[in-house]
Amino acid sequence: MGEGLNELAAGLLATILLTICAAAVSAAAGILVATARLSGRKLLGIPARIYVSFMRGTPVLVQLFLVYFGLPALGLGGHPFAAASIAIGLNSAAYVAEILRGAILAVSPGQREAAEAIGLPPARFWRRVLLPQALIAALPALTNEATLLLKTTPLASAVAVTELTFSGQMIIARTYQAGRVLALVSLGYLILSFAITRASALLEHRLALKSGT
Amino acid sequence: MIDLTPITDHWSDLVAGFQMTLQLSALAWGLACLTGIGLTALRAGGPASVQLIVAAYVDVMRGMPSLVLILACFYLLPETGLYLGSVASGLAALSLYYGAYMSEAMRGALAVIPAGQWEAATSTGLRPATILWRVILPQAIGPMIPSLTGLTIGLFKETALLSVISVPEFVFQAKEAISDSYAPFQIYAFIALVYWGTSAAIAYGAGMMERRFNRYRAAQPALRA
């Protein structure tokens, strides 16, 4: 079991790394999809809606296999970790996009009018006025989404990424100590999701202080 | 033109896999609803110690990836002497997992109903069962539907994870077809479309139910505020 602990620790680290990479993909794609849906242009809005509907209507496992077997066709094959980060991130992006869209729509229209009245360019209005307010409003939902993303990362084991769950499965195959190993694996996820919620609560507190609300 | 022979060659296996997915989803959904109702009842009316245990159970389930629970049921139930096989272990895992989420959705919807409704109904001499059935539930079910729909679609999609413990559902049959034809992209794209269509159908059906249960609400929008 001593050697197994090292393996589990390495797996935990891989899970953390996978969560961070997938979250980066999710944030970038989520912002793109949200802005496409809010652009008011059908050419952007309709593909974005189809994207969200597909990502929410199909199993992440199938999406992961599509990315994993689709990437080689684009000349980017053979990297399970990258495929898992992209697939899990793109899936989460659909939910992030809807959260951001809601939060952006919730910012009062008076803000836009005021920004126009003082002649603020639209890009600065987005960066300085709209997004800061929308992000604070969206933070609780985004935190929830981050913990959901964390709980999706075990699927990467299906394409042989040695993250926490896969390390656990390998130890079980060798030692038959399923009970102890799975208890440790679950504990790992519980600690990580607790860490995400705590970090987000701290961030929320700081942002609230900064914006003076 | 896309080559469809990998799909047509394995048509009957894929159909059998999809039927299995639908059966598993329906069964796990029913069991998860029962678990959810049981947990909600215990949490609302049980002794304080039971309420604490239920709350801890729900928290652990919500902090744990479903795949880990599926593996736990698969490996650990036999150790307790329950040799269920992979199908039943998978069903148990999904029911336990989604039961916890469903109880949260039900609790949320019940919490919105003002305590005055219970008090008023009690003061008119209605029995508790009648109050629940005639007063509380008709008001709670409509608002519950959106979150339950999300969970239902989630459960339907999550059955795909049972392929990991070799339950012969849709993804498992797709993998078998791929090991034979080696056309992974076509086959996964095909099953993705089928999943997508089914999720859309569930969402559509739930939308109709929601309108039906909320129809009396339109007259009194102030209640929703």
- B→A interface, C-beta within 8 Å: 60, 63-68, 71-72, 75-76, 79, 153, 157-161, 163-164, 171, 184-185, 188-189, 191-192, 195-196, 199-200, 203
d(CA A32, CA A27): 9
Q: In whole angstroms, how far apart are CA A154 and each of A77, A142, A151, B111, B169?
A: 21, 20, 7, 34, 20
Q: Which of B67, B72, B188 sits opposite A62 (nearest CB)?
A: B188
Q: Which of A65, A73, A169 sits opposite B188 (nearest CB)?
A: A65
On whether the CB atoms of residues A190 and A16 are closer than 8 A, the answer is no
Q: Return the exposure string of A192-204: e unless at least 16 CB atoms fall within 10 Å of the residue's CB, then b.
A: bbeebbeebeeee
Residue A85 has pLDDT above 60, yes or no: yes
Residue A213 has pLDDT above 60, yes or no: no
User: Which domains, ranges and CATH numbers included, belong to chain B?
Assistant: 20-224 (1.10.3720.10)
Taking the CA of residue B125 and the nearest CA in chain A, the distance in Å comes to 42
Number of residues written out for chain B: 225
Taking the CA of residue A149 and the nearest CA in chain B, the distance in Å comes to 10
pLDDT tens per residue across span A126-155: 888 888 888 888 998 999 999 999 999 999
Specify the pLDDT at position B128.
Answer: 86
Which of B8-17, B113-122, B167-176, B208-217 bottoms out in mean pLDDT, i.e. has the lowest?
Answer: B208-217
Tell me the average pLDDT of chain B: 90
Q: Which residue has the tokens 């008119």?
A: B124
On whether the CB atoms of residues A184 and A36 are closer than 8 A, the answer is no
| Residue B45 CB neighbour total at 10 angstroms | 10
Query: pLDDT-derived band of residue B1, with 50, 70 and 90 as boundaries?
Result: low
pLDDT tens per residue across span A20-34: 999 999 999 999 999
d(CA B90, CA B69): 9
Residue B5 has pLDDT above 90, yes or no: no
pLDDT tens per residue across span B193-210: 999 999 999 999 999 988
pLDDT tens per residue across span B130-146: 988 888 888 888 888 98
B157/A189 Cβ within 8 A = no
On whether the CB atoms of residues A88 and A153 are closer than 8 A, the answer is yes
DSSP state of A193: H
Q: In chain A, which residues have their Cβ closer than 8 Å to the Cβ of B171?
A: 59, 61-62, 65
Residue A168 has pLDDT above 70, yes or no: yes
Complex ipTM value: 0.87
d(CA B141, CA B206): 12
DSSP state of A209: H
Query: pLDDT-derived band of residue B211, with 50, 70 and 90 as boundaries?
Result: confident
pLDDT > 90 fraction of chain B, expressed in percent and rounded: 62
DSSP state of B148: H
DSSP state of A153: G
On whether the CB atoms of residues A180 and A8 are closer than 8 A, the answer is no
B188/A69 Cβ within 8 A = yes
Taking the CA of residue B198 and the nearest CA in chain A, the distance in Å comes to 8
Specify the pLDDT at position A206.
Answer: 84
Average pLDDT over residues A89-102: 95
Q: What is the 3-state secondary structure (H, E, C) of A109-152?
A: HHHHHHHHHCCCCHHHHHHHHHHHHHHHHHHHHHHHHHHHHHHH
d(CA B160, CA B144): 25
Q: In chain A, which residues have their Cβ closer than 8 Å to the Cβ of B158?
A: 59
Every domain of chain A and the residues it spans: 2-211
Among 3.90.650.10, 1.20.1510.10, 1.10.3720.10, 1.10.1760.20, name the CATH number for the domain at A2-211. 1.10.3720.10
Q: In whole angstroms, how far apart are CA A181 and each of A2, A185, B47, B153?
A: 12, 6, 33, 30
Residue from B24, B57, B66, B71 to probe the interface with A (highest A Cβ count within 10 Å): B71
Specify the pLDDT at position B224.
Answer: 45
Which residue type, as a one-letter code, is found at position B112?
V
Write down the pTM of the prediction: 0.89
Nearest to A80 by CA among A62, A68, A65: A68
Residue from A53, A61, A159, A191 to probe the interface with B (highest B Cβ count within 10 Å): A61
Query: pLDDT-derived band of residue B225, with 50, 70 and 90 as boundaries?
Result: very low
Which chain A residue lies closest to B150 (C-alpha atoms)?
A56
